[in-house]
């Protein structure tokens, strides 16, 4: 899986759509755990909430200050995301309703590239909209095409609390918009047909009932 192919990708390219989620979650996902050197004993893997958990519908609140406690949360989120073989995770997915996102879009053969977004804002979403096949650690094993603006600018505070602004396109644009949705209580299945969404949520609920009964 070559993630580099996604920078500046045409989102309508169906071949590449097939690829994008595989880096996010799934059997051939690229990571087999947290990369060496990026973890420390104080990090902990947290439980990821699975839809239709009502907490995933909460609107997360802005962070006042990027301090040690928040960095500890971000470290845990990163470790949790790597463990689950994901490429993006919002704090609410581990039950913390704060406007915090972690992401790593590095390809299989690349050095890990963790990114942290505190109080992110999306600016100037492009008028051009295109589909990407998305998945989500909170909606395991389901993948659907979602239409979103193909590019945008984002403004956020980084791991050190420094304000940054950058242009997002390709996989980065898809992923940041997907994670931003989580901060507003929205799941990617909210962007697909009601029939499909209800089928997916019903199946997840049933799976959880069965797992709890075991
Ligand atoms: Zn998600």
Per-residue pLDDT of the chain (214 residues; tens, 9 = 90+): 333 333 333 333 333 333 334 344 433 333 344 455 555 566 799 999 999 999 999 999 999 999 999 999 999 999 999 999 999 999 999 999 999 999 999 988 899 999 999 999 999 999 999 999 999 999 999 999 999 999 999 999 999 999 999 999 999 999 999 999 999 999 999 999 999 999 999 999 999 999 999 8
Coil, strand or helix at 140? strand
Would residue 79 show up in a list of annotated catalytic residues for this protein? no
Q: Residues with Cβ within 5 Å of ion ligand 1?
A: 136
CA of 42 from ligand 1 middle (Å) equals: 25
Question: 150: closest CA among 113, 114, 124?
Answer: 124
In angstroms, what is the span from residue 136 Cα to ligand 1's centroid?
Answer: 4
pLDDT at residue 35 in the model: 53
Measured in angstroms, how far is the CA atom of residue 174 from the centroid of ligand 1? 11
Give the count of beta carbons closer than 10 Å to the beta carbon of residue 203. 12
Tell me the C-alpha distance between 172 and 177, whole Å: 8
Q: What is the CA radius of gyration of the chain?
A: 16
Structure pTM?
0.82
What is the distance between the alpha carbons of residues 6 and 17, in angstroms, rounded to a whole number? Answer: 10
Q: Which among 47, 79, 179, 198 is annotated as catalytic?
A: 179
Output the CA 24–ligand 1 centroid distance in Å. Answer: 9
């Amino acid at each position: 899986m070559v993630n580099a192919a996604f920078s500046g990708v045409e989102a309508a390219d169906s071949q590449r759509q097939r690829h994008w989620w595989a880096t996010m979650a799934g059997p051939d996902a690229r990571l087999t755990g947290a990369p060496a050197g990026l973890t420390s004993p104080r990090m902990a893997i947290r439980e990821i909430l699975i839809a239709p958990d009502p907490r995933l519908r909460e609107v997360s609140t802005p962070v006042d200050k990027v301090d040690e406690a928040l960095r500890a949360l971000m470290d845990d989120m990163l470790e949790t995301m790597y463990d689950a073989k994901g490429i993006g995770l919002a704090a609410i997915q581990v039950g913390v309703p704060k406007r915090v996102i972690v992401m790593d879009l590095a390809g299989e053969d690349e050095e890990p590239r963790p990114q942290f977004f505190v109080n992110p804002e999306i600016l100037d979403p492009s008028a051009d909209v295109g589909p990407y096949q998305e998945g989500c650690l909170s909606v395991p094993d389901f993948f659907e095409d979602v239409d979103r603006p193909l590019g945008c600018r984002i403004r956020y505070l980084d791991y050190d609390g420094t304000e940054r602004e950058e242009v997002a396109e390709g996989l980065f644009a898809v992923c940041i918009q997907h994670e931003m949705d989580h901060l507003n209580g929205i799941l990617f299945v909210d962007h697909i047909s009601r029939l499909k969404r209800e089928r997916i949520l019903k199946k997840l609920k049933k799976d959880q009932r069965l797992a709890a009964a075991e």
